Amino acid sequence: MITFFIFILSALVIATMLVAKRIEEKRKKGIFLLKVISRGNERAIDLHRGALHHYSKSKEKIDFLIKKQLPLRTKSLWNKFQSFVKYSVKIYMRDMRNSRLLKRGDGISEFFKNISEIEKGGGAINEVYEEMKIAVAEVFEPIAQTPVKSKIPRKRMPVIKKKKLTVIESD
């Protein structure tokens, strides 16, 4: 039913356009309806061209970003991440070699020794934590002893050089 009404409506529009075109030819003067239709057509063509232009420009930009910029940026970020991890490992692992927590005595780790002493009643529960505090203090002691600049350096004022004036006497 809806298609039937659409068919009738389009037939009426075509008939109206034919009648308007005949009247325009007889009078040799433009009719408002046909002028509106032609201006609307021109405007639609301009909008279509503008949309195609913006589409092609944005397609080029997105293609450039995905194919050129994205790989470069991800590679840069990956390199920064790797250097950060290497630096962090270097800082935190340099003092682990001489740490008391990693030393073994008699083939038994310090952890199991401390547990056996606690079960016998000869040790304290907090011994392990005290050793950890000492190890942490050894790691962070050099960092804490580095001097920190508390004063903000002042900017130097620009020096204005005086120019010598020479007087030329003329006759």
Beta strands in the chain (DSSP E): 104-105, 108-109
User: What does the pLDDT read at residue 33?
Assistant: 80
**C-alpha span between 23 and 60 (Å, rounded):** 49
- pLDDT tens digits for range 144-166: 555 555 555 566 666 666 666 66
Q: Residue 105: pLDDT above 80?
A: no
pLDDT at 15: 92
Backbone CA torsion sign across 71, 77, 82, 83? positive
Coil, helix or strand at residue 109: strand
Confidence of residue 116 (pLDDT cuts 50, 70, 90): low
Higher per-residue pLDDT: 130 or 47? 47
Domain boundaries, given as residue ranges, for the chain:
1-30, 38-93, 95-144
Q: pTM here?
A: 0.37
CB 73 within 8 A of CB 80: no
